[in-house]
Structure 1
Amino acid sequence: MKNSKLKSTAKSLVFLFGGILLIVLIIRFVPFRLDLTAEKRYSLHPSSIAVLEALEEPVEVEILLTGNLPGGMRRLQRAIEETIRTFNAYSRQRISFYYEDPMALPADLREDYIVGLATYGINPTNLFITEDGGQKSRLIFPGVVVRNEEFETGALLLQGERGMGPDEKLNHSVENLEYELIQAIRKISTDKAFAVGMTIGKGEMKEDEGFGIVEALVDLHEVYKIPMEQATKPEDLDPFDIIIIAGPKESFSEREIYFFDQYLMKGGNLIILLDASTFELENAGGDGTVAMPLDHGLDQLLFRYGIRVNKDLIQDMNFGYHPVMAGYYGDEEQVVPLPWPFYVAAGRMAAHPITKGLDQVMFRFVASMDTVKADGVSKTPLIFGSEVSRKLAAPVRIAFEDMAKEPNLEDFGLGNLPLLYLLEGQFTSLFRNRFLPEGVDRNTYKESSKGGKVLVAGTGNLFKSQKDFRDGNPLPIGEDPFNNTQYANRQLLQNAVNFLLEPDGIMASRTKTLQIRPLNKLKVREEKTKWQLINILVPVVFFILIGLLWGFLRKRKYT
Structure 2
Amino acid sequence: MVTEQPQTTQTKRSRDITRFLALVGGIVLLNILAASYFFRIDLTEDKRYTIAPVTKQMLTSLEDDVVVEVYLEGDFPAGFKRLQQSVRETLNEFKQYAGGNIRTVFIDPTAIANDTARAHYFTQLAQKGIMPTNLRASEEGKQVERLVFPGAIVKYKGKEATVNLLKGNLAASAEQRLNQSVEGVEYEIAAAIRKIAFPAQKTIGYIMGQGQLDMQQVADLVGSLGEYYRVARGELSQIPDLQGLDLIVVAKPTQPFSELDKFKIDQFIMNGGKAVFFVDALQANLDSVGAGGMFAMPYNLNLDDLLFRYGVRLNPEMIMDLNSGFIPVVTGYMGDRPQTEMISWRFYPLLNNFSQHPITRNLDAVYSKFIGTLDTVRADGIRKTPLVFTSNYSRVLQPPVPITLEEARMEVRPEQFMAGPQPVGYLLEGKFTSLFRNRRAPAGASTTTVKEAGAETKIAVFSDGDLVRNDVNPRTGQPYELGFDRYNNVKFANRELALNTIHFMLDGGGLINVRSKEIKLRPLDKVRVKQERTYWQLLNLVLPLVLLTIFGFTRFYLRKRKYEQKR
Superposition TM-score, scaled by structure 1 size: 0.91
2:428 maps to which of 400, 414, 423 = 423
CA shift in 2, pair 1:29/1:530, >3 Å: closer
Indicate whether 1:264 and 2:269 are aligned: yes
Q: Secondary structure at the match of 1:427?
A: strand
Partner amino acid for 1:360?
A
User: Are 1:465 and 1:476, in contact at CA under 8 Å, matched by a contact in 2?
Assistant: yes
Query: Size of the alignment, in residue pairs?
Result: 556
1: CA distance between counterparts of 2:64 and 2:467?
38
Match of 2:51 in 1: 44
Match of 2:344 in 1: 339
CA shift in 2, pair 1:239/1:108, >3 Å: farther
CA shift in 2, pair 1:314/1:428, >3 Å: same
CA shift in 2, pair 1:187/1:471, >3 Å: same
Indicate whether 1:544 and 2:550 are aligned: yes
Q: Secondary structure at the match of 2:64?
A: coil
Q: CA deviation at 1:293?
A: 1.0
Q: CA deviation at 1:226?
A: 2.4
User: Are 2:163 and 2:188, in contact at CA under 8 Å, matched by a contact in 1?
Assistant: yes
**Identity score, percent:** 37
Indicate whether 1:452 and 2:457 are aligned: yes
CA shift in 2, pair 1:287/1:522, >3 Å: closer
Q: Secondary structure at the match of 1:475?
A: coil
Match of 1:224 in 2: 232
Matches within 5 A, 1:355-504: 355-440=360-445, 444-504=449-509
Q: CA deviation at 1:424?
A: 1.2
Q: CA deviation at 1:328?
A: 6.8
Gaps spanning 5+ residues in structure 1: where?
Answer: none
Q: Secondary structure at the match of 1:155?
A: strand
2:163 maps to which of 155, 158, 167 = 155
Indicate whether 1:173 and 2:181 are aligned: yes
2: CA distance between counterparts of 1:7 and 1:287?
104
User: Are 2:277 and 2:461, in contact at CA under 8 Å, matched by a contact in 1?
Assistant: yes
Q: CA deviation at 1:316?
A: 0.7
Matches within 5 A, 1:48-59: 48-59=55-66
1: CA distance between counterparts of 2:175 and 2:216?
40
Partner amino acid for 1:445?
V
CA-based RMSD of the aligned residues comes to 2.9
Q: CA deviation at 1:73?
A: 0.6
User: Are 1:69 and 1:129, in contact at CA under 8 Å, matched by a contact in 2?
Assistant: no
Partner amino acid for 1:265?
M
Match of 2:108 in 1: 101
Partner amino acid for 2:391?
S
Partner amino acid for 1:541?
L
Match of 1:243 in 2: 248
Match of 1:253 in 2: 258
2: CA distance between counterparts of 1:506 and 1:70?
31
Match of 2:3 in 1: none
Q: Secondary structure at the match of 2:427?
A: strand
2: CA distance between counterparts of 1:164 and 1:427?
38
User: Are 1:162 and 1:347, in contact at CA under 8 Å, matched by a contact in 2?
Assistant: no
1:14 maps to which of 14, 18, 21 = 21
Q: CA deviation at 1:450?
A: 1.5
Q: CA deviation at 1:68?
A: 2.7
Partner amino acid for 2:149?
F
Indicate whether 1:75 and 2:82 are aligned: yes
User: Are 1:216 and 1:476, in contact at CA under 8 Å, matched by a contact in 2?
Assistant: no
Match of 1:26 in 2: 33
1: CA distance between counterparts of 2:491 and 2:75?
28
After TM superposition, the structure 1 stretch with the greater mean CA deviation from structure 2, 405-414 or 501-510, is 405-414
Match of 2:222 in 1: 214
After TM superposition, the structure 1 stretch with the greater mean CA deviation from structure 2, 80-89 or 131-140, is 131-140
User: Are 1:201 and 1:227, in contact at CA under 8 Å, matched by a contact in 2?
Assistant: yes
User: Are 2:71 and 2:106, in contact at CA under 8 Å, matched by a contact in 1?
Assistant: yes
CA shift in 2, pair 1:397/1:448, >3 Å: same
